[in-house]
Chain A
């Protein structure tokens, strides 16, 4: 609502429509069947599993979102509002759980707790939620952390001079201003939980996403499964509506200059408490799982199975890098384009933007089959030379990844571009720059940290992605998660250790980049 200008019609609209349709097509061809509902199947489902699935899904989403918001926000506050020895290291490390796939964290903790707790107690929605919280809280943490850092300490100082305590100042001033960021992180978490199909099954939690696969793969009834998937899309749409309501019309920009460090020095007991909280979470999320993986790998090495568990590591790693790299670049280019062409096109532009993000609300396997249906239909048209098929090509796999993760890029880039000071844009406009020039010369450079952060998130997501990769990988491409799956589906934890560690190892520098970009963002966007 700040700076409005009439966008050019024509090409922008056309591009927006085409991109949205291409991105939504795989989901659309699958959910289309809702127009002709399988009444019998629904009736049966309603009598049997559906109520339970809805309750468990709602419960899991509520638990995990609440948990991640509390843990993520609290940790972000600990490391931004305080200054203590090792603060920088801790604030980086606290983001690293994002590099560990939920299904890896799941099987490691399942195996670890099975002994002390018993196989029955371990398989519960509570433990499933706990695993998802420690694996997903970094989404909230990273957004909250950057939001807290972006706020001028003077704001807090003002609050404190007005008589507020340190915590009250944070709670009444800092948190409300960071609310859009925290809500954005929580929305990502909610989507991840809604579409998770790996972790929930380990813990016998029966969610709607799990039900989609149950109906589809158990009975071969694709239509009924697709209709069930529509429930997920509806749930996701409602969550997004809630997020937008929470965000309200809030739009905060920072104008004041900022000091680089803003934490309040803490020592002694307080410092110890901060460290215990931070390192405690880290132990659960990273230290123990990685230690167990390393332990398994070493045991296999001692037993002389080094070749079995680590042969072809280079090949699998190269596959992973290739796929994740291509998916990231594609998401970045398309996501940035979408942000700029969609935002000034009112309600319809926003609607198309959301249409393109649909894939994020749908479980990986559904997206994958939707992509196969779409590409197979294109292949049958034979528009290109008969020998080249899109189905089973690297292009097909990357397309599916983009459908699945475009929302992450779109959301992230959109959020950071919207934070660019309205006056900077207005100045550039006043000086005669056109929208494209403003976008490329003013907004993107100012928001570049956000763009890099979004790219990193997509890269980490595609690196960990399992169902789409499993179903669509072309011959000669065997990314690491596939190897993990092949081992874990046979309960060969030891054989899963090396590829799991490799995924983590590739993820760590990406997490570093994420932190770096958020820090840079803190200096650039003001």
Chain B
């Protein structure tokens, strides 16, 4: 493949240069590194409230942040395709599996930072130092406060026939679902995980591709129980404190609630690796609280207090052991989801 593709590419040179040149490209190659250490370039799959955090970093350090947002997997694929020519210094994702897949593809560089080792617990960073979690969130069982007295207490219990026609789930195209299933595989192995997911499917779940809409579907009576991220309740409760949905921390007797993380890793071909590391360390320390609070998440550094609304849901046991293995089991999770006919 490589040979022929290259021949094709050589032939494209002339017009490849001509076509774009004739297209009114007045900003020029926007990706050129300007001023070396003064700008850090970030690809971020997390975009909610991220701009204010970067602004604060710039105010604190004088280093400017230039960023582009997108979906985790697409940014990962873009980084892989760009290889040595990437303008990106730091990759930030909203999901542990995607950052691990990026690391496995060799586009993230291991960093040895005492600061990061000190504040980020071992289970919240890759063993090689290619990525570090910055905040945690739990994917939990949510239920109607009006119609459900004893909600399921484990992910497996959602497959109980009692919940037939009353379950809402996020489709399998979303990383949240894929990571959840990867964590179940990591916890109980593939055959047992398949049995759990199959039992959900037998309950004829309603698939909704939005956690907010899943919460709303419970409020309107479309379903009684569901799986969703806890922080969305934070957002909904700031609008309406009486929102009729409650959170149950799943698997508290066992491996704990599925925890996923927002992460960051310095790219292997970063034009400005020093600036990237500086931003990463700042996000893990001075910027830690602001970063987590922006999305009602738990800070990765356990010594940093979460937002008041987040602590109001009580303490819980999280399945942190699975976090560094989510990437490893992601392809198996996607295959499993296909096999059992998960939407």
Interface residues of A (CB under 8 A from B): 17-19, 21-22, 25, 28-29, 32-33, 35-36, 44-45, 47-49, 114-115, 118-120, 123, 201-202, 204, 206, 210, 213-222, 322, 325-327, 329-330, 333-334, 365, 368-369, 372-381, 383-384, 387-396, 398-399, 402, 470-471, 473-477, 482, 486, 489-491
B13 at the interface (CB under 8 A from A): yes
- Bound Cα distance A376, B121 (Å): 37
User: Are A330 and B19 in contact, CB atoms less than 8 angstroms apart?
Assistant: yes
How distant is A219 from chain B, measured CB to nearest CB, in Å? 4
Question: Closest 5 CB pairs between A and B?
Answer: A395-B20, A217-B73, A474-B30, A388-B29, A491-B212
Residues of B within 8 Å of A33, CB to CB, are 1
Take A21-B12, A376-B82, A398-B20 as given contacts and tell me if A120 and B206 are in contact as well, using a CB distance cutoff of 8 Å: yes
Q: Is B70 an interface residue (CB 8 A)?
A: yes
User: Which residue of chain B has the shortest Cβ distance to A474 in the bound complex?
Assistant: B30
A477 to B343: give the CA distance in the assembly, Å: 35
B1-44 residues with Cβ-Cβ distance < 8 A to A are: 1, 4-6, 8-9, 11-17, 19-33, 41
A22 touches B16 (CB 8 A): yes
Residues on B with C-beta less than 8 A from A119 are: 168, 206, 208, 213, 217, 220, 222-223
Q: Which of B244-252, B307-315, B328-336 contacts A (4 or more CB under 8 A)?
A: B328-336
- Take A399-B19, A486-B69 as given contacts and tell me if A204 and B209 are in contact as well, using a CB distance cutoff of 8 Å: yes
Say yes or no: A372-B78 contact (C-beta < 8 A), given A206-B343, A388-B28. yes
Given contacts A28-B8, A470-B71, 11 further A-B contacts (CB under 8 A): A18-B12, A22-B16, A25-B12, A45-B338, A217-B76, A219-B330, A219-B335, A220-B101, A378-B9, A389-B29, A402-B19
Which has the most chain A C-beta neighbours within 10 Å: B41, B84, B87, B223? B87
Contacting residue for A118 out of B80, B222, B339, CB 8 A = B222
Q: Which of A29, A123, A399 contacts B20 (CB 8 A)?
A: A399
**Which residues of A lie under 8 Å from residue B67 when comparing CB positions?**
475
Query: In angstroms, how far is the closest chain B Cβ from the Cβ of A509?
Result: 20
Q: Point out the residues of chain B lying under 8 angstroms from A49, CB to CB.
A: 338
B331 in contact with A220 (CB, 8 Å): yes
Closest to B333 in A: A218
For the complex, what is the distance from the CA of A330 to the CA of B4, rounded to whole Å?
Answer: 28
List chain B residues, Cβ under 8 A from A376. 81-83, 85
For A17, the closest partner residue in chain B by CB is B11
Query: Chain B's nearest CB lies how many Å from the CB of A9?
Result: 18
Instruction: State which residues 299-343 of B face A: CB under 8 Å.
Output: 330-331, 334-335, 338-339, 341, 343
Asked if A378 and B78 sit within 8 Å, CB to CB, the answer is no
Which one of B70, B171, B220, B335 lies within 8 Å of A470 (CB-CB)?
B70
10 contacts across the A-B interface (CB closer than 8 A): A18-B12, A21-B12, A36-B1, A120-B222, A218-B334, A222-B80, A329-B24, A330-B19, A387-B33, A474-B31
User: Are A48 and B338 in contact, with the CB atoms below 8 A?
Assistant: yes
In the assembled complex, which residues on chain A have CB atoms less than 8 Å from the CB atom of B32? 387-389
Which residues from A are CB-within-8-Å of B206?
119-120, 123
Closest Cβ–Cβ distance, residue A396 to chain B (whole Å): 7
Is B55's CB within 8 Å of the partner chain A? no
Instruction: Indicate whether B60 reaches chain A with its CB closer than 8 angstroms.
Output: no
Considering the complex, give the chain A residue whose CB is closest to the CB of B173: A214
Q: With A and B bound together, what is the CA distance between A330 and B213 in angstroms?
A: 41
The distance in angstroms between the C-alpha atoms of A287 and B329, with both chains bound, is 47
Task: Give B36-66 as 1s and 0s: 1 = Cβ < 8 Å from A's Cβ atoms.
Answer: 0000010000011000000000000000001
Contact of B30 among A368, A475, A490, A491 (CB under 8 A): A475
Q: Which of A377, A473, A490 contacts B6 (CB 8 A)?
A: A377
Instruction: Assess the A22–B12 pair: CB atoms within 8 A.
Output: yes
- Binary interface encoding of chain B residues 216-232 relative to chain A, with 1 for a CB under 8 A from any of its CBs, else 0: 01001011000000000
Q: Do residues B19 and A474 form an inter-chain contact, with CB atoms below 8 A? A: no
Beta-carbon contact of B20 and A390 below 8 Å: yes
Judge if B68 is at the interface, Cβ distance under 8 Å: yes
